[in-house]
Every structure is written in C-alpha cells, then in structure tokens.
Amino acid sequence: MANNNHLISELSKKVDNMALKMEKMKFVDYVYYLEHPRKMLWANFVSGLARGFGIAIGFTILGAIAIYFLNIIVKINLPYIGQFISDIVKIVQSSSRNVR
C-alpha cells in the first residue's frame, strides 16, 4: 500500500511538473490556434503587414539620412568623391521629382 502511495505521489509530481512546463510554453494558445486556423492566419497576416510597414519606414528613414550625409560631403567638395556623390544625389532627386 505504501508503494502505491509513493507511485501516486511521484506521478502527481510529474503531472504537475508537466502542466507547469506546458503553461510556460503557452501550449493552450498553440492548441487554440490549431483549433481556429482563421485566427492564426489573421494574426500572421497582421504581423506581416506590420513588419512590411516597419521595413518600409525604416528604409525610408535610413535612405534620407544617407542622402543628407552625401549632401554634406558634396558641400565639403572633396575632389573625386564629391563629384561622384553629386551625380548620385542628382539622379535621386530627378527620379523623386518624376515620381511626384
């Protein structure tokens, strides 16, 4: 009888440990998404849109900063680099005017 109580207490500890680990893994959320695939698709779609907008905005900001620094280098008038960068800036500015 004592052996059965010991086995039951060990089994209880292991089940509790497994339940805790499943809670940490957010297993319930995973099962919820498996049962409701439309919700999973919607969540992934929205997160993809957010990533896309974030990348677009970030690239725009970095591009603007790069062009700003290139303008500064042109104004300093470095011999060969300045002419090359001046051509690049003119190309970018003319293409941005054509888009509008």
How do residues 2-61 score in pLDDT, each as one tens digit?
778 888 888 888 888 888 887 778 777 778 888 888 988 898 999 999 999 999 999 999
Q: What is the pLDDT at residue 84?
A: 80
Residue 99 has pLDDT above 70, yes or no: no
pTM reported for the whole predicted model = 0.50
In angstroms, rounded to a whole number, what is the distance separating the alpha carbons of residues 84 and 100? 25
Mean pLDDT, rounded, for 56-85: 83
Q: What is the pLDDT at residue 55?
A: 96
Residue 100 has pLDDT above 60, yes or no: no
Residue 88 has pLDDT above 70, yes or no: yes
Residue with tokens 């470095």: 78
Helical axes 37-76 vs 27-35, angle rounded to 10°: 110
Residue 65 has pLDDT above 70, yes or no: yes
Write the CB contacts of 65 (distance below 8 Å, at least 6 apart in sequence): none
CB 70 within 8 A of CB 85: yes
- SS3 annotation, the chain: CHHHHHHHHHHHHHHHHHHHHHHHCCHHHHHHHHHCHHHHHHHHHHHHHHHHHHHHHHHHHHHHHHHHHHHHHHHHCCHHHHHHHHHHHHHHHHHHHHHC
